[in-house]
Structures are given as structure tokens and as C-alpha cells.
Chain A
Amino acid sequence: MGIFLVYFGYFFVTIGAIFLFLGALGIYRMPDLYTRLQAGTKASTLGAMSLILGVAFLEPDWWIKLIIMILFIAFSNPLSSHAIARGSYKHNLKPFSKEQIDAYEEVEESKEEQE
């Protein structure tokens, strides 16, 4: 039984490492801040989660703390990436878009008119 847990652990750690690497590669290759945010923060959610899950299989004594860590990542990650995206839009950083689709522009313009 124990040996299976170790295999599961290494499996999840490997998956996590692959996704974290792809996240880093995405940061390097994407064209602007918003798409980099997508690659950097999101591809890494599954990466970090499955890495921590793998550690939970390898070190069964720690599993409660590790589950809390997974929940904390799940709650805090969307908040921070939303804050970064909204903040940079408020600083007039226009998103890169091939088809020029930007529904948020009108909201910002109507706010500026009110001021």
C-alpha cells in the first residue's frame, strides 16, 4: 500500500512541475500584460495544487496543512490576479487584441466623462 502512495506522490509532483514550467514559458512568450497574467497565474494554479497534492501523498502526516494550503491558493489566487488586471487597466494599459474587441473600454470612458 505504502509503495502505491509514493508512486501517486511522484506522479502528481511531476504533473505539477510540468504545468509550472509551462506557466513560466507562457510568461516568456505571451504578447502583453493581460495574457502573461493568464499564463503566469493560471497555468500555475493546477501546477501548484497538484505539486502540493503530491507532497501530501509522499508525507501523509502533513496532509491537513497541505489541504489548507491548496484552499488558500484557490481563494487568494483569483483575487490577486483580478486586482492586478483591473489596476493596470485603470492605469491606461490597453490590452493587446487582434480583433480590437474591448468591451470594458466604454465603462472607463463613461467614468471619465462623469469626472
Chain B
Amino acid sequence: MKNKAQKWGRFLYTWLILMIVWYSYTVSLASAELITGIIVTGLIAALNFTSFTHYGFSLFHPRRILYILQFSFVFLVALVKSNIQVAKIVINPKLPVNPGIVKFKTTLKSDFAKMVLANTITLTPGTLTVDLIGDEFYIHWLNMTSHDEAAIYEDIAADFEKVLIKIFDK
């Protein structure tokens, strides 16, 4: 899979995504609204596509879409599981928290993949990305179960990283 897309590809990709958002908010096929949408989103896309995407249409590669679906599934399972864990902690009268900031090294290469991993870790309750320097993640962990770096990595990030590597670093 090619990672760096051409400029015009990235521009068209940004335009398409913005147009989809525009359509989903207006939900009408009246020509006046569509033409306004095409002009406005085209303008925004032309100004912003360099910071919007580095991948362009290569994200729609069928194999990538399959892996993105797999990632969403892994993420949803983790989200529900950890939400229930945090809920149990909050209900428990003794409040059994053991917070601390831990760090681990990631094996991901591209910046975008690291960003996705950081956001995923933050979005699952119980873990919060405080900072990301180079390839070291600093995580605030609500209920630490271990102090060993390998075990921390295994607990927090391993499941997500396996799929992310397939999506972005191949």
C-alpha cells in the first residue's frame, strides 16, 4: 500500500469528506444547497488539505477498510469493558484506586498512527495520555496493576497496536 498520496488526491479526499459532512447536516438535494456546499467545502479543502490528511484515498484501500473495521471492533470491546471497570470502582464504597503515571515505548513508526493510539488510550476509561515524546507514551493510569514496562505495554496498548501496525505501517 502506498502511503504518501499525491497532492490533488489529498485535496479531493478532503473535499469528499467535507461534502459528506455537509450533506449529512443539510439532508437535502436542492440544487442551491448542493452548489453552496460544493463551493464552501471546496474552498475550505483547498486551504486546509495539507494538515487534514497525509494518506488521501489510500485510506479507502479494501484491506485497510477491513482492518479499520477490525480496529473499531477491538476498540468498542475495550471501551465497554473498561467503562464497566471504572463504574465498579466508583460504586465500591472503599474506592479502590491506585493511580500513577507510567511510561512505555511504542513500536509504531508514523506520527498519525501514534496519534490514533494516544487518542484511543485516552478514550478508554482508566487510562489517560498525559504526553507523547518521541516514541514514549506517558500514561496516567487509574488502577495500576504492575510496574514493569513490558507488562504495562501488554495491558494498555498491545491489543490496539497489533491492528494499527497493519493499518498504517505496512
Residue pair B95, A29 in contact (C-beta under 8 Å): yes
Decide yes or no: A97 and B99 within 8 Å by CB, A22-B90, A43-B83, A43-B90 being known contacts: yes
CA distance A43 to B90 in the complex (A): 10
Partner pick for A107 among B118, B119, B133, CB 8 A cutoff: B133
- Distance of B143 from chain A, by nearest CB (Å): 10
**Binary contact track A82-115/B, C-beta < 8 Å → 1, others 0:** 1001100100000111111111110100000000
Q: Which residues of B contact A29 (CB under 8 A)?
A: 90, 95
- Distance of B128 from chain A, by nearest CB (Å): 6
Residue pair B144, A42 in contact (C-beta under 8 Å): no
Q: Does A19 contact B (CB under 8 A)?
A: yes
Interface residues in A55-104 (C-beta closer than 8 Å to B): 64-65, 67-68, 74-75, 77-79, 81-82, 85-86, 89, 95-104
Residue pair A31, B97 in contact (C-beta under 8 Å): yes
Residue pair A78, B118 in contact (C-beta under 8 Å): yes
**Chain B interface residues toward A at CB < 8 A:** 21, 24-25, 27, 79-80, 82-83, 86-87, 89-91, 95, 97-103, 118-120, 122-126, 128-131, 133, 138, 140, 142, 144, 147
Number of interface residues of A (CB under 8 A): 43
Residue pair B128, A34 in contact (C-beta under 8 Å): yes
The B interface, classified by DSSP as helix, strand, loop or mixed, is mixed
CA distance A19 to B100 in the complex (A): 24
Residue pair B98, A65 in contact (C-beta under 8 Å): no
Can you name 15 A-B residue pairings with CB atoms under 8 Å? A31-B97, A38-B126, A38-B140, A42-B128, A64-B27, A68-B21, A77-B123, A79-B119, A82-B130, A85-B140, A89-B130, A96-B99, A97-B101, A101-B100, A104-B138
CA distance A101 to B128 in the complex (A): 15
* Complex: chain B residue closest to A97, CB-CB: B100
Q: Which residues of B contact A46 (CB under 8 A)?
A: 79-80, 83, 125
Residue pair A42, B124 in contact (C-beta under 8 Å): yes
* Complex: chain A residue closest to B86, CB-CB: A43
Partner pick for A35 among B24, B83, B87, B97, CB 8 A cutoff: B97
CA distance A22 to B87 in the complex (A): 6
* Complex: chain A residue closest to B138, CB-CB: A104
Q: Which residues of A contact B98 (CB under 8 A)?
A: 98-99
Residue pair A99, B128 in contact (C-beta under 8 Å): no
**Binary contact track A29-50/B, C-beta < 8 Å → 1, others 0:** 1111011011100110110000
